[in-house]
Each structure stands twice: as structure tokens, then as C-alpha cells.
Amino acid sequence: MGTVSSMKRDQFVNLVSGRYCDSGSSKGYLSSTLSRLSVEGKQGKPEYPSLLDLCIYKTCEDIERYSTFDILPRDVSQLIFNELVCSQRLTDASIDAFRDCALQDFDLCEYPGMNDRWMDVISSQGTSLLSVDLSGSDVTDAGLSCLKECRNLEDLNCNYCYNISNRGLKHLRGLSNLVSLSFRKNYQINVQGMSFFSGLLNLIELDLERCQWIDGGLVHLNGLTKLESLNLKCCNCITDVDMKPLSGLTNLKELQISFCRVSDIGITFLQGLHKLVLLNMEGCYVTAGCLESLSALPSLSYLNLSRCGIFDNGCEKFAEMRKLIALNLGFNNVTNACLVNLKELTNLESLNLDSCAISDGGLINLAGLYNLRYLDLSDTEVGSIGLKHIAGLTNLESINLSFTNVTDTGLVNLSGLSSLKSLNLDSRLITDAGLPALTSLTGLTHLDLFGAHITNSGTKHLLKFKQLRSLELCSGRISDAGVKNIKELSSLAVLNLSQNHCLSNRSLKMISGLTELVCLNVSNSRITNKGLRHLKMLKNLKSLTMESCQVSPFEMRNLQSTHLPNLVIIRP
């Protein structure tokens, strides 16, 4: 963990989902369709592009020949516009052809060259315009003012638009049909700018993540009674005082206040939000005292308390109860009875207690949360004894036990969790001896044994996990002999074998049969340039990491250019 050569799960998932594809290939369905003569349909029969597809593709190829599309049906003009954006062929000159075309959607997120001049064309769509995404552009207050006559606009996304200030926001006052509004990471908006939101009575989603000067401005959201989602993540200017105006937003279903300066007092203002389903409080200044307030939220399904001060402080009223429970359970640590209020949250599906000061005694309070599907206990003091309290949570699909005190003997408590798909055991306390207890979990698709002390002998137990899509095994004790078992896991899309310095080119030969692989990491091994030829068959590979191996960047780039065209991330 923590080494440069390790790519962790969130990056793996992004690659599998295609986030790291280049914009042309990931977005341009026409380009990908027409890059071959035919594609296989559902019945295995060829399907050919429609006449409309061909016309749109040809029009985009010859875009410089057209001065306007305003005589075309709106849906056709929209398709042409979308394809130009996806293929990165929309320019200052070609955008003028879409003036007065009554288009509904302008998705220009992070599009190069987007500026105020384009806004004039966008605003010319008038009352037809429904959705605009200007994220990452150079649009200024003047450009934003162009939208004031687009009265039917419903969705406006201005994330990372650093040139927009309070002066631009005043032009939004008349856009009463706005349903979704986003201004992530804007350092110019303050309480004055927030006042212009007060008339947006139909607003359902508001995203102000990383806006650092909006403290005092939430009072202007008082009348937005339709608001269902509010994102204030990483707004470290937000304090307890700012929570009070939210108490009247009784339709709120999602609230994100991670890394805000909110304490237990601020959380008391949320007790009336009975429809709240998701609450992200990661890194807030709360203690376990806030759990009493949270127990009044019957609909809460997703709760993130990661990196919060969940320990005795703030729970004085439960002191005697803590001692009694701890004595009855035979625990010396009386820290965890503070979690008793979690018992009330019977609708919880996701609970994140990462880096909280809890240990085995606290898990008894989770035993009745039968709807739990995701549980994160990483970086806690939880050990093997505590796992018996979650053995009955048979709906669990994902559990993170990385950097805990769980040992091999505790893993037997997981053997009955038949719904489990993702298991993180990144801990040096786990060895080969613990793996037999997991072999009943045949539905596993993700297994993280990054720092576990697994040897070649232990890899034979992995053969039970035929559905594995992601495997991390970086103990340093795996050699070519262990890869013989791993090569049988034909569904693998992500494989991280970094730090295993005994791996040789023979391992790559065996891995070459895993044709579903999207990400491969074999850093810090004895692999050389000669071994690269075995990777030619991995046509789905998008990420290849071979740091501290005896391979040259030149040979890796040659492999990419001649055999692996989908490869977009190469290290070194």
C-alpha cells in the first residue's frame, strides 16, 4: 500500500468503466460504429449503420461546407452537434452554424476553446434550451448573462468556471425553471451571490462543492422547499451556524458536508429531515454524540462517518450503559457502546466507519442492521472477535477490513456471507491459513489481499473464485508457481501483482491467457523486454504498470503502437 507502483481500486474501477478512454473513442458512438463495416447484433447477425448515421457522419466530416443548420429538424441538428463535440471537431467557426437551431442540450464539459463568444450561439436557442454544461470553460460573467432569456433552462453546470462571480449569478434570478445547478470549486461566490438563488423555487439539486466563501449564504436556501440534493463537500467555511437554515428543507434526501467544520451541535439541526437518505459527514468535527441526532432519521440508508471523532467524547450520558455492555461482553475496551444509537438506523444499506476509534465491542450494535450491503471498517481497532457480530448480515455485498486487527481465525465469521462480492483484506495479519475459510464466497468479484502474507501455496484457494474481476496480491511472496493458479481466473479484468520480485517472463506468458484484462501491474519484478511479447494478446488492456522492471519505455511504447491500441496508461 502507498507505493507509487500500486494502482488502487478506485482507479481500477474507473478504467474498467472506461473513464480513462480518450474522449473521441469513449463518447463518439458514430465514429466507433463507422470504424468498421459492421457490428454483431444480439442474434449474432451483422448490423449496419442507418442512413441517418451515415449522413450525420458525412456532415461532420465536411462541416466547413455548412453555414447553418437552422432549416433541419431540431433532433437532426442536435445529433450533428453532439457528434462534433464527441469527435472534438466543433470550432469557433463551426459553432455558428447552430445559431437559432432550437437545440435543447449543450454538453460542452471541458471542451477546449469554449468561451463567451460561444455563449451567444447557445443563448440563441431561446426557450428551447433545457440543459447547458460549461464545466472547465473560460466563460465569464458576461457570457453567463446571455442565458437570462432562456427561461426554460432546467440544468446548468458551471463546475470549475473560475471566471464566474457574484455578478454573473444575478442573471440567474429569472430562470425559475432551473432544477439542477452546479458551481463546484468556485472561489468568487460568497453570501451575496448565494442571495440570487433564493428565487429558484423549483431547484431540486444544488452542488457547491469546494466553494470556500459561502458561509452565511445557506440562509438564502430557506425557501427552496423542493431541494432534494445539496452538496457542500470540502466547503471548510461551513460551520454549525450554517446548518440551522437547512432544518426547514424537509424534502432533502441527500446532504454532503464532508470536511466541513460542523460539530455535534450542527447535526442537531438535521433531526427533522425525515426523508434524508444519504448523509456524508466524512472528516467533520463530530463525535459519537451526533449519533443520537442521527437516530431520528428513519430513512437514512447511506451514512459516511469516515475520519470522524467517533469515540467516547460526547457520549457521557451513555457512560454507564457502555460499561455494562462491555462487562457483559467480556471486553476491557469500553469505548464502543457509543455506537448504540446506530441500532435505530435499521434502513442503513451503507456504513463507513473508516479511521474511527472503534474496536470489537462496538460491532454488537451493527448486528441488527440486516439491510447493510456496504460496510467499511478500515483503519479501525476492530479484530477477529468483533466479526462474529456481523456474521448474520447476509445481505452484505462489500466489506473493507484493511489495516484492522483481523487475523486468520476471524475470517471464519465471513464464511456465511454468501452475498459478498467485494472483500478488502489488505492487512499483514492475514496469511495463507485464513484463505480456506473464504472459499465458500464463490460470488466474490473483487478481492484485495495487497499487504496480506500470501504465498504460492495460498493461491490454490483462489481457484474457488471463478467470478473474480479484480485481484490484488502484492505480498512479495508470489512467484511464477503462484501465477499458475491465478491464470485460471479467466474473468479477471484487474490484476495487481506488484512487489512480487520473483516474477519472471514466464508469469507474463501465463497471464497472456487472461484476455479480459484491462489493468495489469507487475512492478518490482524480474520481467524484461523479452517478456513483453507475451502481452500482445491482451487487446483489452488499457493500463500497464511495470515500474522497477527491466523493461524500457521504448519497448513498452512499441508494444502499445503495434499490438495494444487501447492502452492509454503506461508506466514507466
pLDDT of residue 48: 80
Do residue 197 and residue 264 come from a single domain? no
Is 260 part of a structural domain of the chain?
yes
Do residue 233 and residue 368 come from a single domain? yes
The stretch 385-410 carries a mean pLDDT of 97
Those residues whose C-beta lies under 8 Å from the C-beta of residue 484, and which sit 6 or more positions away, are: 510
Please say if the pLDDT value at position 543 is more than 60.
Answer: yes
Gap between the Cα atoms of 527 and 30, Å rounded: 40
361 falls in which pLDDT band (50, 70, 90)? confident
Is 437 part of a structural domain of the chain?
no
Do residue 130 and residue 175 come from a single domain? yes
Q: Among 202, 237, 267, where does a domain finish?
A: 202
The stretch 221-232 carries a mean pLDDT of 97
Burial degree of 114 (CB within 10 A; 0-12, 13-18, 19+)? buried
Please say if the pLDDT value at position 332 is more than 80.
Answer: no
pLDDT of residue 159: 98
Do residue 275 and residue 293 come from a single domain? yes
Is 414 part of a structural domain of the chain?
no
194 falls in which pLDDT band (50, 70, 90)? very high
Q: Among 360, 382, 406, where does a domain finish?
A: 406
Please say if the pLDDT value at position 3 is more than 90.
Answer: no
CB atoms within 10 A of CB 533: 15
Do residue 286 and residue 389 come from a single domain? yes
Do residue 140 and residue 274 come from a single domain? no
8 Å CB contact between 402 and 425: yes
pLDDT of residue 336: 55
pLDDT of residue 278: 98
Is 122 part of a structural domain of the chain?
yes
Please say if the pLDDT value at position 46 is more than 90.
Answer: no
Is 418 part of a structural domain of the chain?
no
Do residue 348 and residue 466 come from a single domain? no
Is 485 part of a structural domain of the chain?
yes
Q: Among 378, 406, 434, where does a domain finish?
A: 406
Q: What's phi and psi for 495, nearest 5 deg?
A: -140, 120
8 Å CB contact between 326 and 361: yes
Q: Is the pTM of this model over 0.85?
A: yes
> In the chain, how many domains are there?
4
Gap between the Cα atoms of 512 and 536, Å rounded: 8
Closest CA to 90 of 64, 124, 120: 64
pLDDT of residue 40: 45
The stretch 111-126 carries a mean pLDDT of 96
Do residue 284 and residue 328 come from a single domain? yes
* Neighbour-count burial for 388-409, b at 16+ CB within 10 Å, e otherwise: ebbebbeebbbbbbbbbbbebe
Which region holds residue 278: left if phi is over 0, alpha if psi is between -120 and 50, else beta? beta
The stretch 345-359 carries a mean pLDDT of 95
310 falls in which pLDDT band (50, 70, 90)? confident
List the CATH number of the domain containing 519: 3.80.10.10
Domain range for 126: 100-202
pLDDT of residue 22: 37
Half-sphere exposure of 344 (CA within 13 A, CB side): 13
Do residue 373 and residue 326 come from a single domain? yes
The packing angle between helices 51-61 and 74-86, to 10°, is: 60
Please say if the pLDDT value at position 95 is more than 90.
Answer: yes
Mean pLDDT across the chain: 89
Closest CA to 441 of 470, 411, 486: 411
DSSP string over 300-313: --EEE-TTS--SST
Those residues whose C-beta lies under 8 Å from the C-beta of residue 558, and which sit 6 or more positions away, are: none
Which one has a higher pLDDT value, 199 or 32?
A: 199
pLDDT of residue 338: 74
Do residue 39 and residue 9 come from a single domain? no
Please say if the pLDDT value at position 18 is more than 90.
Answer: no
Reading the block at residue 330, the C-alpha cell is 467480556
CB atoms within 10 A of CB 36: 8
Reading the block at residue 32, the C-alpha cell is 466507433
Q: Which residue has the cell 474522449?
A: 23
pLDDT of residue 49: 84
Give the rounded distance of the alpha carbon of 142 from its chain centre: 34
Is 209 part of a structural domain of the chain?
no
Do residue 234 and residue 380 come from a single domain? yes
Taking only the tens place, the pLDDT of each residue in 57-89 is 999 999 999 999 999 999 999 999 999 999 999
Please say if the pLDDT value at position 287 is more than 60.
Answer: yes
43 falls in which pLDDT band (50, 70, 90)? low
Do residue 249 and residue 125 come from a single domain? no
Taking only the tens place, the pLDDT of each residue in 497-530 is 999 999 999 999 999 999 999 999 999 999 999 9
Please say if the pLDDT value at position 189 is more than 80.
Answer: yes
pLDDT of residue 24: 35
331 falls in which pLDDT band (50, 70, 90)? very low
pLDDT of residue 337: 59
The stretch 411-432 carries a mean pLDDT of 97
Is 219 part of a structural domain of the chain?
no
Reading the block at residue 67, the C-alpha cell is 453555414
Closest CA to 555 of 519, 529, 528: 529
Half-sphere exposure of 234 (CA within 13 A, CB side): 8
